[in-house]
Structure 1
Amino acid sequence: MYKHILIPIDGSALANSGLEQGLGLARALGASVTVLTVYSPFQTISMETVQLEGVRTEYERHARDLAQSYLSEAAARAKAAGVACATEMRESSNPYQAIIDLAVTQGCDLIAMSSRGHGAMAAMLLGSQTQKVLAHSTLPVMVYR
């Protein structure tokens, strides 16, 4: 069945619940997991980027540190569950594409992720990353709510 599962997380309670469910599935199947977190690049509307260089550097350091904390916690949970786990961090303004790209390059055969379960109108307006993964992935996607 599935041997390598990608589990994207964002540090939210819902993503942590999805992580637990994904780890449970991996343990039951004897699969390994890769846990991914994607952070957004620094963006500004100012034309004077020299003035913002310190802000950019601080933002990037904070974003990487926060992402690493999510991944460290996920790796500890995987270890406690007896599941082989690798972790990955990516910077991208299109998280859904980073998720799909990593799943393909790492040879994952399933993406297991959580969804906030927005109603149809909210999902149309907000454009969930989970929906975008579902729409663009050629791999199977399991969605936890």
Structure 2
Amino acid sequence: MFKRILVPTDGSDITAHAVDAAIQLAKVHGAQLLTLSVMEPFPYSAVSEIQPVPPQEFIDAQQRVATQRVEAVSAAAAAQGLACRMHTAEALHAWEAIVDHAKTEQVDLIVMASHGRKGLAALLLGSEAQKVLTHIDLPVLIVK
């Protein structure tokens, strides 16, 4: 049923549950597994020319962390005998990068974690999972 499954990762413990679910689904369906970690862009400011961290240092650190996150997913998949294609992307909003990547890679299913925030916390903090759900017409499995 599913041929290409995308599991975005932010490296959190809750995302590990989504990664496990995605790996199992990919094995059951004989699907290709893809993972994505989204990096924040450098916070350029027109107000001040003095930046606390030089741009290249910030970018390198973001890339290093994103790479570690997708490598962790790939290692978890490899431990289960499954290959995993790793990707990183830079975006102001993670949900936009996830939606764009899912469309570009023509995935059949997105498996992602949700922190399960409710009420005011969900309103103030937002939900990347909720935004993905409302901006894509693919199946999305939310793992809590």
TM range (shorter): over 0.9
Q: Is the 1:31–1:83 contact (alpha carbons within 8 Å) kept by the matching residues of 2?
A: no
Aligned twin of 2:36:
36
**Does structure 1 residue 25 correspond to structure 2 residue 47?**
no
TM-score normalised to structure 1 length? 0.92
Residue type of the alignment partner of 1:82 = G
Alpha-carbon deviation of 1:131? 0.7
Deviation at 1:94, TM superposition (A): 1.3
Aligned to 1:141: 140
Name the counterpart of 1:11: 11
- Deviation track 1:24-65 (CA, whole Å, cap 9, x = no partner) reads 11111111111000011111445344x439621111101100
Question: Structure 2 CA distance, aligned partners of 1:128 and 1:55?
Answer: 30
Number of residues of Structure 1 aligned to a counterpart in Structure 2: 144
Cα distance in structure 1, aligned partners of 2:48 and 2:123: 35
The gaps in structure 2 that reach 5 residues or longer are none
Question: How far apart in 2 are the matches of 1:65 and 1:54?
Answer: 16
Shift, 1:84, TM fit: 2.6
Task: Give 1:1-145 correspondences, 5 Å limit.
Answer: 1-49=1-49, 51-52=50-51, 55-145=54-144
With the length of structure 2 as denominator, give the TM-score of the two structures: 0.93
Per-residue CA shift, 1:73-93, capped at 9, x if unaligned? 111111111223101000100
Letter in 1 for 2:33: V
Q: 115-124 vs 6-15, which deviates more? A: 115-124
State the alpha-carbon separation in 2 of the partners of residues 52 and 140 from structure 1: 41
Unaligned runs of 5+ in 1: none
TM-aligned CA deviation for residue 10 of structure 1: 0.3
Question: How far apart, in 2, do the equivalents of 1:14 and 1:46 lie?
Answer: 36
Distance in 1, matches of 2:26 and 2:88, equals 20
Q: Distance in 2 between matches of 1:134 and 1:83?
A: 27
Distance 2:116 2:23 in 1: 21
Q: Identity percentage over the alignment?
A: 35
3-state DSSP class of the match of 1:52?
Answer: coil
